[in-house]
Amino acid sequence: MRHEEGVVFKHERLDVWRKAMAWAKDIYAVTQSFPETERFGLQAQVRRASVSVAANIAEGVGRSTPADFSRFVSIAYGSLMEAVCECSMATELGYIPFSDHDRLRTEADEIARMLSALRYSRDR
């Protein structure tokens, strides 16, 4: 990440946030070739869900109570699962090659595990 003023926010120090950002960028790249008819449909939906993962991690870190933090990490996990489902649908429709789908699922699995660990670590 490039920061003009050298300021690094707390969420930017988290490996899971950085992986979620990279995953969302990968989703954007993979969905670039979707048909024009999906511009406001599946393409937009999977992109929103993928960005929501990193955004909810950041928002959770910015909350003041462990319960709020845990809730936003849970929302991030839900957004991740939504995007995984949408990628599966896009693959079934022939919009995402199987090789990209497998890579995205593997990356999502790693992010899911990291989110679970993060939520558990803050619950204690």
Please write the tens of the pLDDT for every residue from 68-113. Answer: 999 999 999 999 999 999 999 999 999 999 999 999 999 999 999 9
Q: For 50-74, what is the mean pLDDT?
A: 95
Its pTM stands at 0.92
- The answer to whether 107 touches 120, Cβ cutoff 8 Å, is no
Would you state the CATH architecture of domain 10-123?
Answer: Up-down Bundle (1.20)
Q: For 106-124, what is the mean pLDDT?
A: 87
The tally of CA atoms less than 13 A away on the side-chain side of residue 43 is 15
pLDDT for position 124: 38
Q: For 111-121, what is the mean pLDDT?
A: 93
3-class DSSP state for residue 39?
A: coil
**CA 105 to CA 111: how far, in whole Å?**
10
What single-letter DSSP state applies at residue 6?
A: -
Q: Give residue 122's pLDDT band: very low, low, confident or very high (50, 70, 90).
A: low
pLDDT for position 4: 62
**CA 52 to CA 35: how far, in whole Å?**
23
pLDDT digits (tens, 9 = 90+) for 21-46: 999 999 999 999 999 999 999 999 99
pLDDT for position 60: 95
96: left (phi > 0), else alpha (psi -120 to 50), else beta?
beta
Give burial (CB, 10 Å; 0-12/13-18/19+) of 108.
buried
